[in-house]
Structure 1
Amino acid sequence: MSTGPIVIRPSTDADVGAITAIYAHHVQHGTGTFETEAPAEAEMARRRADVTAKGLPWLVAEEGGRVVGYAYANHFRPRPAYRFCVEDSIYVHREATGRGLGRLLLAELIARCEAAGARQMIAVIGDSENVGSIGLHQALGFEPAGILRAAGWKHGRWLDVPLMQRTLGPGEDSAPE
């Protein structure tokens, strides 16, 4: 699938079709998300618009003019006290895995969330056997924060949910501006 340099950039409305297709594969075949039915393109467009309206990043990895992955951050929880804490999500096209795209996306996502004033990033990793995602997050400074045992049922088995956390910017060392 490699067809040139990889560009990490903010997503646009034109990327929603590719984003929807990438996510649909993960919903149908993976355990990185606990959704069991792939959302339609209109729903993915709504989700993207919700994230970007909050001033949070939704990025894509583009290679040779084709979207091969995406990542975004959303507030960890909807309550106002959580407004400086974000949760990351990263999905890579099935034919582009294992090439470092996730690392590029997450590194840029971290930088943009820090610039936006976020102080903590949480990774809610679907499936404790998702060693790729766990390793990616560890490599970029995330530390284990707990595990939710048998929190989800998908593909005929119970799935644990590892939680990981990374401090952004000054973290808890000063009050936010």
Structure 2
Amino acid sequence: MEPALISPIDTMTLRGCEPGDIPEITAIYAHAVLTGTASFELAPPTEQEMARRREVLTAGGFPYVVAIVAGRLAGYAYAGPYRPRPAYGNTVESSVYVHEDFHGRGIGKALMIEVIEQAEERGFRQMVAVIGDSANRASIGLHESLGFNIIGTLTSVGWKHGRWLDTVLAQRALGPGDTAAPSRAR
């Protein structure tokens, strides 16, 4: 049986990530690191490290949003620099994580739609998703449903949980994409 989407009594609110959200974000990410293959980190970062990462993203003008359902932080998503070199400055890499109690309820999609919209508003032109584990059909399907094209698979580039893992690269244009000069100064 599939979990129900967000019901009218469990309305979802999306808002910008605040410093007070870090403990819940750290817990969601720790679970993903320890039990899943979406992240290739092997040890969960501390709250201090997650706060530092958030600060770098928000100070850099990148979108970082959370979903609140029934008073709980149900998930988060952000876009950050794809690569550090200046020529990549108009391209972002997306990340999305949903608390295990809320999987399959449309939260990841809502978060990604918001991050995509905010990235477009901020003048970014391309979004890349580096999807951990080619067996992660839910994440691949989510990205395809949002207009990402699967660009390719890097085979056996990570070792986690006693096995080799692939990464799937997906990409979508933001705003006018590559049909006009970039609007973001880098």
Distance 1:30 1:67 in 2: 19
Matches within 5 A, 1:1-177: 4-177=10-183
Q: What is the RMSD of the two structures over their aligned residues, measured on CA atoms?
A: 1.2
Identity percentage over the alignment? 53
Say which SS state the counterpart of residue 127 (structure 2) adopts.
Answer: strand
The residue type equivalent to 2:128 in the other structure is: I
Distance 1:90 1:120 in 2: 17
The residue type equivalent to 1:88 in the other structure is: S
Deviation digits for residues 97-156 of structure 1, max 9, x if unmatched? Answer: 000000000001000000000100000000000000000000000001111110000000
Deviation digits for residues 35-79 of structure 1, max 9, x if unmatched? Answer: 000000000000000000110111000012210100000010011
Deviation digits for residues 2-26 of structure 1, max 9, x if unmatched? Answer: 7621011101001000000000000
Which ranges in structure 2 are unaligned for 5 or more consecutive residues? Answer: none
Aligned positions, number = 177
Distance 2:42 2:141 in 1: 25
Distance 1:84 1:104 in 2: 23
Distance 1:142 1:156 in 2: 30
Distance 1:144 1:68 in 2: 27
Q: Mean alpha-carbon deviation: is it higher for 34-43 or for 59-68?
A: 59-68
Say which SS state the counterpart of residue 125 (structure 1) adopts.
Answer: strand
Say which SS state the counterpart of residue 101 (structure 2) adopts.
Answer: coil
